[in-house]
Amino acid sequence: MNAVGVIVEYNPFHNGHAYHMEQAKQASGAEIVIAAMSGNFLQRGEPALVSKWKRTEMALKAGADIVFELPYQFAAQQADIFASGAVSILEAAGCRSLCFGSESGQMNSFRQTLSFLEKQNDTYQNRVKFHLDEGCSYPKATSLAFCDIQPESDMVDLSKPNNILGFQYLKSARNQNASLNVLTVARKNAGYHDEQFSSDTIASATSIRKALFSENGEIEAIRQYVPETTYSGLIEYKETFGGFHHWEDYWPLLKYRLIHLLPEQLETIYEMEEGLEHRFLSAALQAETFQQFMELIKTKRYTWTRLQRACVHILTNTAKEEMPSEPSKASYLRLLGMTKIGREYLNKHKADLPLPLISRVSSRVSDHLHLDIKASRVYAMGVKGRQQQILLEQEFKQPPIMI
Amino acid sequence: MNAVGVIVEYNPFHNGHAYHMEQAKQASGAEIVIAAMSGNFLQRGEPALVSKWKRTEMALKAGADIVFELPYQFAAQQADIFASGAVSILEAAGCRSLCFGSESGQMNSFRQTLSFLEKQNDTYQNRVKFHLDEGCSYPKATSLAFCDIQPESDMVDLSKPNNILGFQYLKSARNQNASLNVLTVARKNAGYHDEQFSSDTIASATSIRKALFSENGEIEAIRQYVPETTYSGLIEYKETFGGFHHWEDYWPLLKYRLIHLLPEQLETIYEMEEGLEHRFLSAALQAETFQQFMELIKTKRYTWTRLQRACVHILTNTAKEEMPSEPSKASYLRLLGMTKIGREYLNKHKADLPLPLISRVSSRVSDHLHLDIKASRVYAMGVKGRQQQILLEQEFKQPPIMI
């Protein structure tokens, strides 16, 4: 069986994702789709709307055949490390191709950009350093540096965040000598960060989340943008757990943590750079909400996303030495769910998988999964009472979702 | 001016406390009363009902002239360390005597017990060890050891918890070569731990707290047992902060902390003995309330109080090396409040005080007070919203209460 891999967060799964999976199958000629999906905390440094188990169920019901967890050490990370972990999982899972969505849908532009940047690397890095020294954030500095080196017209514009992940997938595949073929298909409507609905059926996950959290946030309002299975899944989750996970639910915990840690303890946390710890502490003492806190700590030097990720690491007590600080490969395949066809595929390939396949967390494997287990437990603290216990216990009790 | 010292928690201040202050003045011939009062967390390992500032105000309105804070490093401690810190504060404050309440009111019995135990120390320590090895808790082992060595009839019964603190005050005063005179006066009614009301005007703080937290806990129910100033103070605090501080308010924070710490991190916390950390973690994963958690971790080996104190230290992230592990002296006098007469007394003695007098927390002194500041911030997290900010900021902004 020929499998195509996709790298996703599905927060939540919407029509654009379904369209992407179809296109990926077509472009690659694959029969099955394997998703490397972020766990409970996401790349933007946010808790996922609903748990990874519910998101797995939604993905499987809408076309994915196998879902592996992108472990915390890659999921809550900057683009290059995120990409390296995800690509290594899809490669290890035996995917013949990896397919991502882009505006142009032209793989050639990505390849040319990569070659060009490899050749111009010294100049490019100098320009990045120059802009960092000017006080820009890292993404801003790379974006400006890219413009400085005058890319040719048939390249992708890496000053647009949309294109950066795709570029990093290609780069990771090349650096890892992956045998999978990297493909891209054109996205349908809706930019990645659009906050407004602009089509009848396709909307960005950002605009969907915004609608769900709006003042009289009725799930009904997003119905047309998501498969029926997402719609009913969201309703069910909200009924069971009392709502969707939101940073504000974790704010009392983050605030508590910030006010009882010494600056030198805060400094051991991943992505906490020197100088940030005093800023974080003084903001925590002033802010009543997470939003207020973020506004107090935001500077030109750090993006909102980067600061939110630091907050996630503080919340999960993740130390610098626990995280890869540069692109690297995953060390296990954590199976979150599969369809019948996905199961056939796995049965066939199980013996040749280069990484351990973990379908159930036990004390035997829990050391490897330490960060994922901790992240899931902290994620559970966002809900109250009996429901919290369900989420707390799920990490050890939940078998892979089968549909 | 002749000052008598008292060692208190005032949780909350009640008629028995008022009676004790009067008696203390009479017995000592003192004109003013100086209280060494626990801060926001108490010896039994509990948050105080209301903040140390409110408790200071109540104490001053009901007869105390000066209130010093018994720092966290002594307040949330076993009896001997608690006593050593408190005695050293009263001695440093220039008290000519220290007066505690006891059932017998006979100082001689305490003195004889101390001499007897000093003589019999080896035998006594052997018996303590024997009972500890049998699996008893430390207080139980000392209580049994005391019975084993057949104390004479004119001694105090140290198998009764009521007598232990008084005994430790005397012992600390002797060990510190304190010049203050240790006195005792007979308590009026109500045993220390009585849970029921048994008199018309005197009730134990335990029974008062129980009434306040009972299902239809009306403050009215305790009116007859407390001075009018306590009554109105409690009403005011409840109106401002939405209720009284209770362990259950801090349970989400303690649970969060337990589930994200590694056992080896938990082991660095004061009073966490080897082996307890796994027990704590597994109980945290199961318990929905603090009460359930405590019932899960309770064993014969550790008293409820001891375990609650460990919980407080986990909550405040207080490491073994931050706390004195044996009796020692305070290094500062933190002034929480004073009356006009108290102020006169301090003005007179200010120049001769052997310890720094801290009446306002500033960055200059905040290192010394690190544990008290942290404890107060954590204490603030027990209330919500705007009110939390008031408590959070109080540690730096609040001048001593003056009445």
Q: Is residue B168 part of a domain?
A: no
The pLDDT mean for chain B works out to: 93
Please give the biggest Cα pair distance in chain B.
58
- Please say whether the beta carbons of A96 and A181 come within 8 A: yes
B294 and B383 both lie in a single domain: no
A313 and A336 both lie in a single domain: no
* A137 Cα to chain B: minimum distance (Å): 30
User: What is the residue-level pLDDT of chain A in tens, covering all 403 positions?
Assistant: 899 999 999 999 999 999 999 999 999 999 999 999 999 999 999 999 999 999 999 999 999 999 999 999 999 999 999 999 999 999 999 999 999 999 889 999 999 999 999 999 999 999 999 999 999 988 889 889 988 988 787 888 887 777 899 999 999 999 999 999 999 999 876 555 566 676 789 999 999 999 999 877 789 999 999 999 999 999 999 999 999 999 999 999 999 999 998 888 999 999 998 889 999 999 999 999 999 999 999 998 899 999 999 999 999 999 999 999 999 999 999 999 999 999 999 999 999 999 999 998 887 777 779 999 999 999 999 999 889 999 998 988 899 999 9
Per-residue pLDDT tens over the stretch B30-52: 999 999 999 999 999 999 999 99
Q: Is A293 annotated as a binding residue?
A: no
Partners of A386 on chain B (C-beta within 8 Å) are 288
Determine the Cα–Cα distance for residues A282 and B396; give it in Å rounded to an integer: 13
Q: What is the pLDDT of residue A367?
A: 72
Q: What is the pLDDT of residue A72?
A: 97
Q: Is residue B165 part of a domain?
A: no
B250 burial type by CB count under 10 A (0-12 exposed, 13-18 middle, 19+ buried): buried
Q: What is the pLDDT of residue A194?
A: 62
Q: Which residues fall within 8 angstroms of residue B308, CB to CB, at 6 or more apart?
A: B44, B45, B46, B247, B294
B147 and B281 both lie in a single domain: no
Confirm or reject contact between B389 and chain A (CB < 8 A).
yes
Give strand pairing partners of B41. Answer: B47
Of A288, A377, A386, the CB nearest to B260: A377
B95 and B229 both lie in a single domain: yes
Q: Is A14 annotated as a binding residue?
A: yes
A43 and A98 both lie in a single domain: yes
B364 and B229 both lie in a single domain: yes
Strands in B283-344 per DSSP E: 333-338
Q: Is B163 annotated as a binding residue?
A: no
Count of the separate structural domains present in chain B: 3
Q: What is the pLDDT of residue A267?
A: 94
For A194, the 3-state DSSP assignment is: coil
Give strand pairing partners of B333. Answer: B357
- Please say whether the beta carbons of B10 and B55 come within 8 A: yes
Of A252, A316, A392, the CB nearest to B285: A392
Q: Domain boundary residue among B292, B322, B352?
A: B322
Q: Is residue A173 part of a domain?
A: no
Task: Copy the structure tokens of residue B68.
Answer: 């010093």
User: What is the residue-level pLDDT of chain B in tens, covering all 403 positions?
Assistant: 899 999 999 999 999 999 999 999 999 999 999 999 999 999 999 999 999 999 999 999 999 999 999 999 999 999 999 999 999 999 999 999 999 999 889 999 999 999 999 999 999 999 999 999 999 888 889 888 988 988 787 888 887 777 899 999 999 999 999 999 999 999 876 555 566 676 789 999 999 999 999 877 789 999 999 999 999 999 999 999 999 999 999 999 999 999 998 888 999 999 998 889 999 999 999 999 999 999 999 988 899 999 999 999 999 999 999 999 999 999 999 999 999 999 999 999 999 999 999 998 887 777 779 999 999 999 999 999 889 999 998 988 899 999 9
H or E segment and range at residue A336: strand A333-338
The number of residues making up chain B comes to: 403
A143 and A194 both lie in a single domain: no
Confirm or reject contact between B158 and chain A (CB < 8 A).
no
Cβ-Cβ pairs closer than 8 A, A with B, add up to: 55
Confirm or reject contact between B40 and chain A (CB < 8 A).
no
* A260 Cα to chain B: minimum distance (Å): 6
Of A252, A377, A386, the CB nearest to B259: A377
For B57, the 3-state DSSP assignment is: helix
* B255 Cα to chain A: minimum distance (Å): 9
Determine the Cα–Cα distance for residues A22 and A63; give it in Å rounded to an integer: 8
Q: How far is CA A236 from CA A216, B18, B61, in A?
A: 18, 58, 56
For A385, the 3-state DSSP assignment is: helix
Confirm or reject contact between B378 and chain A (CB < 8 A).
yes
Determine the Cα–Cα distance for residues A321 and B145; give it in Å rounded to an integer: 49
Confirm or reject contact between B381 and chain A (CB < 8 A).
yes
* A212 Cα to chain B: minimum distance (Å): 24
Q: What is the pLDDT of residue A109?
A: 94
Confirm or reject contact between A61 and chain B (CB < 8 A).
no
Mutate to test the interface with B, among A259, A296, A311, A381 (most CBs of B within 10 A): A259
Confirm or reject contact between A399 and chain B (CB < 8 A).
no
* B27 Cα to chain A: minimum distance (Å): 43
Confirm or reject contact between B252 and chain A (CB < 8 A).
yes
Confirm or reject contact between B355 and chain A (CB < 8 A).
no
Q: Is residue A127 part of a domain?
A: yes
Q: Is A79 annotated as a binding residue?
A: no
Is A259's CB within 8 Å of B392's CB?
yes
Confirm or reject contact between A381 and chain B (CB < 8 A).
yes
Closest residue in chain B to residue A392, using alpha carbons only: B285
- Please say whether the beta carbons of B338 and B3 come within 8 A: no
Q: Domain boundary residue among B273, B301, B322?
A: B322
- Please say whether the beta carbons of A290 and A248 come within 8 A: yes
Q: Which residues fall within 8 angstroms of residue B232, CB to CB, at 6 or more apart?
A: none
Nearest CA among A113, A104, A91, A243 for reference residue A167:
A113
Closest residue in chain A to residue B318, using alpha carbons only: A260
Confirm or reject contact between B373 and chain A (CB < 8 A).
no
Task: Copy the structure tokens of residue A169.
Answer: 């997938």
B259 and B387 both lie in a single domain: no
Nearest CA among A257, A249, A246 for reference residue A280:
A257
Q: Is residue A110 part of a domain?
A: no
Q: Domain boundary residue among B159, B194, B225?
A: B159
Per-residue pLDDT tens over the stretch B108-146: 999 999 999 999 999 999 999 999 999 988 888 988 898
Q: What is the pLDDT of residue B157?
A: 86
A97 and A9 both lie in a single domain: yes
A 317-346: CB under 8 A from B: 317
Radius of gyration of chain B (CA): 21
Q: What is the pLDDT of residue B353?
A: 96
Q: What is the pLDDT of residue A348?
A: 96
Partners of B385 on chain A (C-beta within 8 Å) are 288
| Angle, CA of A244, A36 and A90, to the nearest 5° | 180
Determine the Cα–Cα distance for residues A322 and A170; give it in Å rounded to an integer: 26
- Please say whether the beta carbons of A204 and A192 come within 8 A: yes
A310 and A202 both lie in a single domain: no
Q: Is A19 annotated as a binding residue?
A: yes
DSSP type of residue A331: S
**Structural domain that includes position A135:** 119-159
Q: What is the pLDDT of residue B194?
A: 62
The CATH number linked to B335 is: 3.40.50
Neighbours of A278 (CB within 10 A): 11
B92 and B205 both lie in a single domain: yes
Per-residue pLDDT tens over the stretch A26-52: 999 999 999 999 999 999 999 999 999
Q: Is residue B192 part of a domain?
A: yes
Mutate to test the interface with A, among B251, B256, B262, B371 (most CBs of A within 10 A): B256
Q: Cis ω on the peptide bond leading into residue B12 (within 30° of 0)?
A: yes
Q: What is the pLDDT of residue A336?
A: 98
Q: Is residue B347 part of a domain?
A: yes
Q: Is residue A324 part of a domain?
A: no
B269 and B141 both lie in a single domain: no
Confirm or reject contact between A390 and chain B (CB < 8 A).
no
